[in-house]
Amino acid sequence: MHLIIDGFGANPSILESEELIYQFLDDYPSQIEMTKVAPPYVFRYVGSKPEDWGVSGFVVIAESHISIHTFPERRLVNIDVFSCKEFNPERVIKDVQAKFELTEVETHLLNRGLESYYLETVESKAV
Amino acid sequence: MHLIIDGFGANPSILESEELIYQFLDDYPSQIEMTKVAPPYVFRYVGSKPEDWGVSGFVVIAESHISIHTFPERRLVNIDVFSCKEFNPERVIKDVQAKFELTEVETHLLNRGLESYYLETVESKAV
């Protein structure tokens, strides 16, 4: 499952804080029963256009990741929650909306290919 | 633009190599005229199911990222190329197909929200 959230109207004082983004990536996986495999990786960047500065962060969870890019001047946040384990997308959207004080969200949910015919072949051979 | 590639039938000796994944994340951004803002971050993990071991990696490019998760036992690779800058998705799919020796790909291309009405408001005020 890959949940894609573009959130608008966010509180810029949250979006500009590396500490708050780090905290979110550090705490949130366990709230949705995901297992971090490494600490989050968060930093501030400055884009070629002055309004494009912001904070980027990742946390790797078993076989997948949560990523976040913030644009405080645009009150915009792009979040991806990509996990091999099922989770409740409505709950994540609601949590993110509350956390970043969003007024508007655009979301996509994809079911990504995880099983190839190679694994199926190996498994049916084993039976 | 957010290009999502699930590639099947990959060469497992490429998928299991942290060095090759690092090299790909380090070299590829400049080939599609993207600017790395930090070195790639790559590591090996072992999932709860034994077939789920693999390599995960990220590289942050201006305001966005390329991520990769490999599953050598499944000959599967999940790649995301998310960039605020336009790129040629057909070219990236072709490059990834060649690089990982894929026999099958499933792809999605999303146009993600980047402009919120806040920025538009600020800009029209400035005029």
Read off the pLDDT of residues A55-112 as tens digits, 9 standing for 90 and up. Answer: 999 998 886 899 999 999 999 999 999 988 889 999 999 999 999 999 999 999 988 8
> ipTM surpassing 0.95, yes or no?
no
Average pLDDT, chain A: 86
Give catalytic status of residue A13 as yes or no: no
| Domain span at B68 | 2-126
Give pLDDT, residue A59.
Answer: 93
Give pLDDT, residue A28.
Answer: 96
Asked if the Cβ–Cβ distance from B67 to A65 is below 8 Å, we say: yes
CB B4 within 8 A of CB A113: no
Backbone angles phi, psi at A103, to 5 degrees: -100, -15
Q: How far apart are CA B10 and CA B20, in angstroms?
A: 13
A51 contact residues in B (CB cutoff 8 A): 119
Give pLDDT, residue A115.
Answer: 55
Give pLDDT, residue A114.
Answer: 62
- A18–B contact, CB cutoff 8 A: no
- B8–A contact, CB cutoff 8 A: yes
B125 contact residues in A (CB cutoff 8 A): none
Give pLDDT, residue B10.
Answer: 96
At B76 the three-state DSSP class reads strand
Give pLDDT, residue A118.
Answer: 42
- The model carries a pTM of 0.83
Q: Is B110 exposed, middle or buried (0-12, 13-18, 19+ CB in 10 A)?
A: middle
Mean pLDDT of A10-23: 96
B80 contact residues in A (CB cutoff 8 A): 80, 82
Give pLDDT, residue B115.
Answer: 55
pLDDT at residue A121 tops 70: no
Q: Tell me which amino acid residue B117 is.
A: Y
Give catalytic status of residue A84 as yes or no: yes
Q: How far apart are CA B77 and CA B107, in angstroms?
A: 12
Average pLDDT, chain B: 86
pLDDT at residue A9 tops 50: yes
Distances (CA, A) of B84 to A71, A114, B14: 12, 27, 29
* CB-CB neighbours of B8 under 10 Å: 20
Give pLDDT, residue A62.
Answer: 80
Choosing from A13, A30, A48, A64, the catalytic residue is A64
Counted domains in chain A:
1
Q: How far apart are CA A78 and CA A48, in angstroms?
A: 18
CATH classification at residue B39:
3.60.90.10
Mean pLDDT of B80-86: 89
At A98 the three-state DSSP class reads helix
pLDDT at residue B96 tops 50: yes
